[in-house]
Structure 1
Amino acid sequence: MAMQERIREDDAGVILFDAAVSPQVDADWFEPEAWRARGALRQQSGGRGGVAIIDTPAGECVLRHYRRGGLVARLMGDRYLWKGADFTRCFREFRLLGAIAALGLPGPQVVACRYRRTGLFYTADLITRRIADARTLAQCLADGSLDGELAERVGALVARFHRAGIWHADLNAHNVLVTAEQIYLIDFDRGRQRPPAQAWQQANLLRLRRSLVKLGAAAQGEGRFEEQLWKPLVYRYERTLRA
């Protein structure tokens, strides 16, 4: 189904939504307390992401409030410098997810996003459809289900995105979701489409490797990790990239 972009503006901010997914999206969609009052707030967590699981007319969704990380968060918190609507984090991620869907790649289905501008700054939120019955690759590693076969599937997944020129700004084991039928990449904040090139593709792949090692994938030895997980992943990555 082709995306149908619509924009709605009111005192609460500017909303960009896909009318093909939900023909009506208002400001309350971006307020966890509004969902709580309806008994439709399924789960909420704080931290950097500010994520809530909500039961909407478009199905179960993930509401994410954009927050900064690192030292700059102490100064800016959840505020970003205004450079125009098309340059907001939420509009860019919304449209990138639309492009990913149009390419037939497995990412989250985007529903809506909103920015709220105050002077030189803005805050932002994004709503996507929740991917049901999914575990992160980090969870698969922790419970021992990350084996050579799954590693190969992950390599093929990353290659498909890279072949299409999709750069993920934070490719790590928490942003790979695994279901019984499919593997997905999620969280495309700051991601973009760019001409395929070995330099950024390899840097992206090595970022995933560092994430796996940091989470303990090499705890039983670097050589074992290399042979049982990383080589299968890279083997399938390279074959898929050339296909």
Structure 2
Amino acid sequence: MLLSTNKNITLAYSNPKHHSLTASHFDANFWQENNAIVGTSTGRRTTWFVSHDTKPWVLRHYWRGGLMAKFSDDLYCFPGVHQTRPIAEFRLLEEMHQLGLPVPRPIAAKIERIALWYRGDILIELIEDSKDLHAVLSNSPLPQSLWHQLGKEIARFHNHGVFHADLNIKNILLSENKFYLIDFDRGELRKPKPSWQQANMARLRRSFDKEKGKLASLYFNDNNWQDLLSGYQSALK
């Protein structure tokens, strides 16, 4: 990770070739003015898909949730550069990418200091031709082999001590029969232990059940979960 600080702006880069990026590249208006927005994803907030030198990237701003959002929707208490949420996620993505785990490649991250506070953004590569697992299962079932494969992939992360703070059905992408995990905000590397690993899996199961409750036709059932667990347990060290 390469850091560059100018006044109240700190930028992190994954590669020297990205040094040409400036703070303006983290503003959706910049991409709109250059007709470079190729799509969006709308959840609680909008995530932008942009094109840079024909490469598709994802631009995501860090928004607050819960009670604190009533006081400020995007300002966080500054804990030091490396502990800020954009830089921490950026570093984790770099480490996972080096480990060969299926995650998006990080491009750059930005934090803006405002006295004792900061706000931030991150740019990552877009996983092309992918859909989140909720979108996939809304339209068609997965074969048993893919459920088993998904379990094995999650076990790979856990074997490396990767804790995903929000492991859920929408943070799993499928592209050409390959799974990817995304959105590692507040994620971290931990010593592998059954306690947090099992809690991670329980969170994922709750996510499936929650979405099934909203959409009865979602292609998910207990047998699918058992197939996922079978793959997970077969690969967990």
TM range (shorter): over 0.9
Secondary structure in 1 matching 2:212: coil
Q: What is the aligned partner in structure 1 of residue 3 from structure 2?
A: 7
Query: 1:162 and 1:27, CA in 2 relative to 1: closer, same or farther beyond 3 A?
Result: same
How far did 1:20 drift? Answer: 5.0
Map 1:1-243 to 2 at 5 A: 5-11=1-7, 13-19=9-15, 22-45=18-41, 47-57=43-53, 59-216=55-212, 225-227=221-223, 229-242=224-237
**Partner Cα distance (1:124, 1:81) in 2:** 12
**Partner Cα distance (1:40, 1:74) in 2:** 32
Give the TM-score taking structure 1 as reference length: 0.90
Query: 1:102 and 1:45, CA in 2 relative to 1: closer, same or farther beyond 3 A?
Result: closer
Stretches of structure 1 that go unaligned for 5 or more consecutive residues are none
Query: 1:199 and 1:10, CA in 2 relative to 1: closer, same or farther beyond 3 A?
Result: same
**Partner Cα distance (1:201, 1:123) in 2:** 30
Secondary structure in 1 matching 2:10: strand
How far did 1:147 drift? Answer: 4.0
Which residue identity does 1:241 align to in structure 2?
A: L
How far did 1:12 drift? Answer: 6.2
Secondary structure in 2 matching 1:24: coil
**Partner Cα distance (1:83, 1:29) in 2:** 24
| Misfit runs of 4+, over 4 Å | 217-221
**Partner Cα distance (2:104, 2:196) in 1:** 23
**Partner Cα distance (2:213, 2:236) in 1:** 24
Query: 1:79 and 1:160, CA in 2 relative to 1: closer, same or farther beyond 3 A?
Result: same
How far did 1:157 drift? Answer: 1.0
How far did 1:10 drift? Answer: 2.5
How far did 1:218 drift? Answer: 10
User: RMSD of the TM alignment (CA)?
Assistant: 2.1
Which residue identity does 2:63 align to in structure 1?
A: R
How far did 1:226 drift? Answer: 1.6
Which residue identity does 2:13 align to in structure 1?
A: F
**Partner Cα distance (1:33, 1:220) in 2:** 39
Stretches of structure 2 that go unaligned for 5 or more consecutive residues are none
Identity of aligned residues (%): 34
Which residue identity does 2:92 align to in structure 1?
A: L
Query: 1:92 and 1:119, CA in 2 relative to 1: closer, same or farther beyond 3 A?
Result: same
State how many pairs are aligned. Answer: 235
Give the TM-score taking structure 2 as reference length: 0.92
